[in-house]
Chain A
Amino acid sequence: MRYLPNSPADRAAMLEATGHQSVEELFRQIPAELKLQGRLNLPRPLSEPEILDFFRQAAKQSSRDYVSLLGAGAYSHYRPVAIDALLSRGEFFTAYTPYQAEIAQGTLQAMFEFQTLITQLAGMEVANASLYDGSTATTEAVLMALRISRRDRVVVARTVHPEYRQVLQTYVRHQGVEVIEIAYSPSGQLDRAQLEAALKQDTAAVVVQSPNFFGSLEPVREIAEIAHKNSALLVVTIAEPLSLGIVQPPSDADIVCGEAQSFGVPVAFGGPYVGFLASREKFVRQMPGRLIGQAQDTEGRRGFVLTLATREQHIRREKATSNICTNQSLCALAATIYLCLLGKRGLKALAEQNLAKAHYAARQLRAVPGTATPFVAPHFNEFVVRTPGDAEELLAALRNEKLIGGLNLGRFYPELANHLLVCVTEIVSKEAIDRMVEVYRRFAAATNSSGSAAEFHSASMGRNL
Chain B
Amino acid sequence: MYPQELLYTKEHEWIRVDESIGTIGITDHAQKELGDIVFVELPRVGDQVTANESFGTVESVKAVSEIYSPITGEVTAINPRLQSTPELLNADPHGDAWLIRVRLTDRREIESLMTADDYEAYIKEKKGE
Contact = CB atoms under 8 A, between A and B. Distances in A.
Nearest to B54: A319
Contact of A315 (B39, B41, B44, B64): B64
B59 A319 contact: no
A310 B41 contact: no
- Chain A residues touching B, majority SS: helix
A219 B89 CA distance: 45
Interface in A307-321: 310-311, 315-316, 319
Contacts of B59: 285, 310-311
A310 B62 contact: yes
B53 interface: no
Interface string B16-41: 00000000000000000000000101
A315 B61 CA distance: 13
B31 to A, nearest CB: 16
Contacts of A310: 59-64
B92 interface: no
B63 A315 contact: yes
Q: Which of A310, A311, A316 has the most CB of B within 10 A?
A: A310
Interface in A273-302: 285
Contact of B66 (A285, A315, A319): A319
Interface of A: 150, 285, 310-311, 315-316, 319
Contacts of A150: 44
A285 B56 CA distance: 13
Nearest to B43: A150
Contacts of B44: 150
B90 to A, nearest CB: 16
A316 B59 CA distance: 11
Given A310-B61, A315-B63, 7 more contacts: A150-B44, A285-B39, A285-B41, A285-B59, A310-B62, A310-B63, A319-B64
Nearest to B59: A310
Interface in B68-127: none
A285 B59 CA distance: 10
14 contacts: A150-B44, A285-B41, A285-B59, A310-B59, A310-B60, A310-B61, A310-B62, A310-B63, A311-B59, A315-B63, A315-B64, A316-B64, A319-B64, A319-B66
- 7 cross-chain pairs, A with B, having the tightest CB-CB distances, nearest first: A310-B64, A310-B63, A311-B64, A316-B64, A310-B59, A285-B39, A315-B63
B5 to A, nearest CB: 32
A319 B39 CA distance: 16
A365 to B, nearest CB: 54
Contacts of B61: 310
A310 B61 CA distance: 8
Contacts of A285: 39, 41, 59
A312 to B, nearest CB: 10
A311 B39 CA distance: 12
Nearest to B62: A310
A321 to B, nearest CB: 9
Contacts of A319: 64, 66
Contacts of B66: 319
Contacts of A311: 59, 64
A214 B64 CA distance: 44
B60 to A, nearest CB: 8
A316 B54 CA distance: 14
Contacts of B41: 285
A150 B61 CA distance: 26
A150 B44 CA distance: 11
A443 to B, nearest CB: 61
A39 B127 CA distance: 54
Contacts of B60: 310
Contacts of A316: 64
A285 B58 CA distance: 12
A35 B102 CA distance: 55
Most buried by A among B39, B44, B60, B61: B39
Contacts of A315: 63-64
Nearest to A286: B41
B84 to A, nearest CB: 12
A76 to B, nearest CB: 43
A285 B44 CA distance: 17
Nearest to B44: A150
Contacts of B39: 285
B41 to A, nearest CB: 7
Nearest to B64: A310
A202 to B, nearest CB: 15
Contacts of B64: 310-311, 315-316, 319
A319 B58 CA distance: 13
A307 to B, nearest CB: 10
A315 B62 CA distance: 10
A319 B41 CA distance: 13
A310 B58 CA distance: 11
Nearest to B57: A319
A344 B64 CA distance: 40
A394 B30 CA distance: 71
A316 to B, nearest CB: 6
